[in-house]
Amino acid sequence: MSEQPKVRTTEGVVQGRRRQGHAVFRGIPYAQPPVGALRFAAPAPPHRWEGTRQAVEFGPVVPLSLPIDVPPQGTDWLTLNVGTPDPGAAGLPVLVWIPVGGYLSAASSDPMFDPAALAEAGVVVVTINCRVGAEGFAFLDDVPPNRGFLDQIAALEWVQRNIAAFGGDPGQVTVGGVSAGAGSVAALLTMKSARGLFRRAIAHSVPGLYSTPALAWQVTAAFADRLGAAAPTAEALRDIDPWHLAAELTSFNAGLHRHRESWGRLTEAGTGLCPVVDGEVLPETPWPALTGARASGTELLVGHTRDEFRYFSVMSGRYGTFTEEDAHAALELLAPQPDGARAYRAAFPQASPEELVETVYSDALFRMPSQKLAEANAAAGGTSYLFELCWAAPALGGILGACHSLDVPLAFGTLDSPVGTQLIGEEPTPEAVGLSRELQQAWVRFVTTGDAGWSAHRPGGHLTRLLDTESKTLPYPEQASRQIWEGHAPAPFDLS
């Protein structure tokens, strides 16, 4: 039996294991556990250790604010995992994946993010855990905001210090994510403290979930009041068990609709505690920062699915039930002001209430933020490669369509993961396997060369790769929505 792989990091030696032709190292700390005096603080550098640290098990899952049953684990939340084709290699491209969902969950142990296929293709894959929910994004008076983003930067700094020892090239780092992970990537594009930590970016289904300080403070104050805390401060919340805090946020989020009159669009976001445009950690949202040349463009692979909202409507049991009243409320709340609601009805005159709800939610939450990020990055001198996934998920009789997150197991080649089988089925069709191979090859090519393999998205042309059983590069397919949102960059949620 061959000896298990060892690597010396700046903090100490780690020993991983060989697996499926590559090496994996799991649960490596990139910062100290954010508990006790460090709770709600900026991440602190990891401790050094003597001897060899076993790196064969994933680190503990951070406290999750989702309606799922995850038992509390340890507190060493700020860890990462490395999958590498060969620790003895040099100059391999690196993908750092941020597995954040809704700013409520972050589980790098999810089998959907298994690095095996990408490692086989020659990519070093790093997946990270970071703080989410109240731990990462509650806007507290006496600690830094956006601690989840600060964790991500600390992980990227670890990569710069250490990835060469795993065979990776610190000058060829691509940062990537889906949904809130993609929102994190978009934020990192604008943050001064992240400059020089990565070269390229992948962002699938970028959300526009950012709050103003005024709204963030009011929401956090309401959450603190729910907990019986004297004030929205770290000092007042520090003694509350982290998993109890996460569970309370789950209940708090379930009642957001009751605050629609004062908190407006935020109440449709699914979480009350999202990143805040505080002016320091996050100076501004990505779209104006890039178009205004206050952030530099980069090589960016960005896209969305055609039917982004369908997954949420099906899983919530609302699919097929939306009424004209629902459509009116969605248009008034989410369409760009002042005349977006009228513009949607004019652009889609034959649409049913269900179709209008799905269109405006898909646009406002993911499609337009993604498309506009491509445009803004190009305006800032970067090169943007835009895609739309058009292939419909076969599961549940096909009603899911090309839904949110379907592209991720395709890109990772993890069709047999729980999410993959939920969306694609137990036995992937040849079409699913072929599309997975195509998207994965685009990723590998992009992280290696900065070219996704199709024409870049440029002003006037808006060329987009339509991923399907027979993929094509054509003008952006959601032109009607793009025109409605012309001149309307996703704005931070604010008090109504």
Q: Where in the sequence numbering do the catalytic residues fall? A: 179, 308, 404
The rounded distance, in Å, linking the Cα atoms of 309 and 327 is 14
The rounded distance, in Å, linking the Cα atoms of 400 and 47 is 46
- HEC readout, 133-187: HHHHHCCCCCCCCCHHHHHHHHHHHHHHHHHHHHCEEEEEEEEEEECHHHHHHHH
Task: Tell me the three state secondary structure of residue 262.
Answer: helix
Q: How far apart are the first and last CA of the chain?
A: 65
The rounded distance, in Å, linking the Cα atoms of 440 and 294 is 32
Query: Among residues 454, 284, 298, which one has the least CA distance to residue 379?
Result: 298
Q: Which amino acid is at 172?
A: Q
Contact assessment for residue 327 and residue 353, using Cβ atoms and an 8 Å cutoff: yes
Contact assessment for residue 482 and residue 363, using Cβ atoms and an 8 Å cutoff: no
On the question of a cis peptide bond just before residue 338, with omega within 30 degrees of 0, the verdict is yes
Within 8 A by CB and 6+ apart from 346, the residues are none
Within 8 A by CB and 6+ apart from 244, the residues are none
The rounded distance, in Å, linking the Cα atoms of 276 and 273 is 9
